[in-house]
Amino acid sequence: MVEKSKVQEVLDLIRPALQADGGDVSLVDVDDEGIVTVELEGACKGCPMSQLTLANSVERVLKDRIPEITKVVPAL
């Protein structure tokens, strides 16, 4: 099982890059299957590129640093 605190630590590493573009990310949940739910905030929230940001930045870095993560999904 993936610890939320470990996910939060990695998100804290990603956060400055998102904030530089006026956005941010917050952790919503981590389930038993390694699925991480995040909420994109600020400029990222309505951005048409948000799915790419989620997949190419947030998910890639999280999976690289925490191999137990299977997927990163946006909060609904």
pLDDT digits (tens, 9 = 90+) for 14-71: 999 999 989 999 999 999 999 999 999 999 888 888 888 898 899 999 999 999 999 9
Residue 38 and residue 61: Cα distance in Å, rounded?
14
Helix H or strand E encompassing 46: none
pLDDT of residue 32: 95
pLDDT of residue 49: 87
Q: Is the pLDDT of residue 76 over 90?
A: no
Domain count, the chain: 1
pLDDT of residue 24: 95
Q: Is the pLDDT of residue 74 over 90?
A: yes
pLDDT of residue 38: 97
Helix (H, G, I), strand (E, B) or coil at 14: helix
| pTM across the whole model | 0.92
- Domain of residue 28 covers 4-74
3-state secondary structure 22-36: CEEEEEEEECCCCEE
Q: What is the CATH number of the domain that holds 66?
A: 3.30.300.130
